Structure 1
Amino acid sequence: MKKVLKDKIIAVCNKKIETKGVNVGLSFYAFFANKNDDPDLLMEAATWWIKTHKLDHFEKATKIKKLVSGEAAK
């Protein structure tokens, strides 16, 4: 996963957790505007979410942040 996507995911998760609490759920669409201005990055996020990790449509932001942070450490 590209660093720009990892950074974006972590930032969005942090903001969601801060504003809605630790039980907030989100989908990979939360990391993108409604306008599809970066289809390659969207597909990378979808592949990571659906194929690589086989995640449900909605997952807790804390779980996603932990997964992405763990991959950033690799």
Structure 2
Amino acid sequence: MRQSLKDIIIDVCNKKIAAKGDQVGISFYAFFKNKNDNPELLMEAATWWIQTHKLDHFEKALKVKSLIEHS
């Protein structure tokens, strides 16, 4: 996964955790605007989320952040 996407994921996770607490859930769609303006990046995130890590639709933001930081 490219570093720019990792940075986005960590930033979004940090913001969600700060706003809603450690138990907040997140979907990979949270890393993108409500329009599909970068399908390649969206597919990269989806592949990492679904195929590589077999994550559920919603996962704890802390778990996602940890996976990114240790990859």
Both proteins in one fold, TM over 0.5: yes
Percent identity reads 70
Q: TM-score, normalised by structure 2?
A: 0.99
Q: TM-score, normalised by structure 1?
A: 0.95
**Counterpart for residue 58 of structure 2:** 58
Task: Count how many residue pairs are aligned between Structure 1 and Structure 2.
Answer: 71
Q: 1:4-56: CA deviations, max 9, x gaps?
A: 00000000000000000000001000000011111000000000000000000
**Counterpart for residue 29 of structure 1:** 29
Q: Give unpaired runs (5+ residues) of structure 1.
A: none
**Counterpart for residue 14 of structure 1:** 14
Q: Give unpaired runs (5+ residues) of structure 2.
A: none
For 2:15 and 2:27, locate their aligned partners in 1 and report how far apart those are by CA, in whole Å. Answer: 14
Aligned-residue CA RMSD (Å): 0.3
The question of 1:5 aligning with 2:2 is answered no
After superposing on structure 2, the runs of 4+ consecutive aligned residues of structure 1 that deviate more than 3 Å are none
